[in-house]
Amino acid sequence: MSLNAKLPPPAKMPLWHELGKSFADELQDYSPTSVLDGISAYEHEFGRARLIERLVELLHLDRVQPGPAHKEFCSLPFDIVCTTNFDFLLEKQYDLDRQDNRTVHPVVDEDQLSINVGATGTLLLKLHGDVRHPKRLVVTEADYDGFLTNYPLIATYLSNLLITKTAVFIGYSLDDPDFRQIWHVVASRLGKARRMAYAIIVGAKLGDIARFERRGVKVINLPGTRERYGAVLAEAFAELREYRREHAGTTLKATEEKPLEQFLLPRDAMTRLCLFATPLDVLPFYRENIFPLAEAAGFVPVTAADVVNLGDSTSAKIDTLIDRAVVIVVDATSRNTQLELGLAISRAQEAEVRPNRRRLEVIIVATEFAQIPIAPIEFWHFVERPAVPSEDSAFVWEVAQHLQNLAGEMGFAQRLEPRRLLDAKEYRAAVISAMTLLETDLRQRLNKAPRDTVRRPMSMRQLLELAREQGLVDLVDGDLSQWTKLRNDAVHTGRTVTRNEAKLVVEGVERIVGLD
């Protein structure tokens, strides 16, 4: 990875063996037997301080910048990244991505492992330290030999990761003796029950593949040449990011049925998801007073706490929720929600420059003295709330107005969405979208709040009965039962929906809502 950094020519980042050769060349009358031998001899000859200073020079730490491969890698929502590199290229790239507010939390010492760094940050575990921590640096034979003894908690933490998570090695040879000891223990104790591990390599040779597979690692061999290594990695990371977003909807399981329906729609569908990112202390207020207003406007409110990710990556879950939402309401009065605001703004900006991306509307809520760490953007909708919110405050009315206005702007496109999905042969999604449109339309035409006096939503059957009483629809019970069963099967069983079944529901809903 470091080889793909940007440096003014002719300078370039060294590989591990090139680093060792540079140290060996400065030794007189000594022929090192390995890279570690050369570096260790250099430290013995000139001292630890000079070794660190020379590392800084050889790694060009005063001028090196991350390259495209670093940029695309850091855009992936990993909760934990481990590195044995001594440089700061990943930290620099995460800092460059501050507009995303995807912060990085480097961990070098064991006492940092117990610190909760927040939901939307990436923990960067620097297994071999870095040049800012000379005592912690693992670079000589003595450092490697003493790793397990000197840093048992880091070794234990890494072992747990290798036991419970799927490891993906990028630009890593598995030659470090300390890591191989841990890897060997995990492999020998778990045997066939060990999780799969993968290594991403560009233009791997048969010997490389054999060496990794001998160590229990499958190679993902990307076609390309050494000269294009960084570009090939960057393309692969970008493709992986889009693939994950495309297929992530089915990995989310909502605790409520309405959000679950929306996650089952294709990524390019216009959902009705309204994502709320709020501090925990005001979330009950939002659920009680703001969520019903979102429902009344035709949106489906959801929070990250309402969704279970089949994996355990918090960053990936939030990334997917933002990707699928059409509106996000961010109460940016806490550090974590400000991070989510940064991610939302970044996604909204992405949609502005990519015509094939659905636009994301952002409603920002802040108190009088809250500091918003991002410059205003035209698609912001800003609302100020009192420090202690109350249901009769102007704040509630303002949020309702924004939601109603956005619903009005999106309404026509959302009414056409079932037909678009039908024409795209997304029959299951067309049925779900049509039934959601029918429920939203009936609520609005009947001027019925989303919750009655006992705070329970009206069922579809209750809405239709009320609509029939008022002469708004002539739908018979048989039609309703057939449509509802089809929609329930589509959501809960995943059964295949035929074109004729979807066409029947879509055309029936279009007739009721006045689109035929």
Q: pLDDT over 90 for what percent of the chain?
A: 45
Q: What share of the chain is helix, strand, coil (3-state, %, to 5)?
A: 55, 10, 35
What pLDDT score does 393 carry? 86
Cis peptide before 9, with omega less than 30 degrees from 0?
Answer: no
Q: How confident is the model at residue 463 (pLDDT cuts 50, 70, 90)?
A: confident
- Average the pLDDT over 168-183 and give the result: 90
pLDDT one-digit tens code per residue, 137-154: 999 999 999 999 999 999
Q: How far from each other are the two terminal CA atoms of the chain, in whole angstroms?
A: 57
Asked whether the beta carbons of 58 and 22 are under 8 A apart, the reply is yes
Cβ partners under 8 Å of residue 183, min gap 6? 162, 174, 215, 216
pLDDT one-digit tens code per residue, 195-227: 899 999 999 999 989 999 998 999 999 999 888
pLDDT higher than 60, residue 423: yes
What pLDDT score does 336 carry? 81
pLDDT one-digit tens code per residue, 332-345: 888 888 878 877 87
- Average the pLDDT over 357-385 and give the result: 77
Phi, psi of 420 (to 5 degrees): -65, -45
Cβ partners under 8 Å of residue 76, min gap 6? 237, 240, 241, 244
pLDDT higher than 50, residue 498: yes
Question: What pTM value is reported for the model?
Answer: 0.77
Q: Cα separation of 64 and 60, whole Å?
A: 6
Other beta carbons within 10 Å of 216? 14
DSSP notation for 273-334:
EEEEE--TTTHHHIIIIIHHHHHHTT-EEE-GGGEEESS--HHHHHHHHHHH-SEEEEE-SS
Do the strands 197-202 and 167-170 form a parallel or antiparallel pair, or are they unpaired?
parallel
- Average the pLDDT over 44-63 and give the result: 94
HSE at residue 177, side-chain half, CA atoms within 13 A, is: 14
pLDDT higher than 70, residue 299: yes
What residue ranges in 171-259 does DSSP mark as E strands? Answer: 197-202, 218-222, 252-254
Other beta carbons within 10 Å of 413? 12
pLDDT higher than 60, residue 477: no
Q: Cα separation of 285 and 283, whole Å?
A: 5
Q: Cα separation of 166 and 200, whole Å?
A: 13
What pLDDT score does 347 carry? 77
The residue to which tokens 């050889």 are assigned: 58
379 compared with 433, residue with greater pLDDT? 433
How many Å separate Cα 273 from the centre of its chain? 17
Other beta carbons within 10 Å of 319? 23
pLDDT higher than 70, residue 107: yes
pLDDT one-digit tens code per residue, 112-132: 988 776 556 789 999 999 999
pLDDT higher than 80, residue 135: yes
Q: How confident is the model at residue 482 (pLDDT cuts 50, 70, 90)?
A: confident
Asked whether the beta carbons of 173 and 84 are under 8 A apart, the reply is no
Lowest mean pLDDT among 2-16, 335-349, 350-364: 350-364
Q: Cα separation of 319 and 211, whole Å?
A: 36
What pLDDT score does 378 carry? 63
Q: How confident is the model at residue 83 (pLDDT cuts 50, 70, 90)?
A: very high
pLDDT one-digit tens code per residue, 230-249: 999 999 999 998 888 888 77
What pLDDT score does 454 carry? 36
What pLDDT score does 341 carry? 82
Q: pLDDT over 70 for what percent of the chain?
A: 90
Give the mean pLDDT of the chain: 86
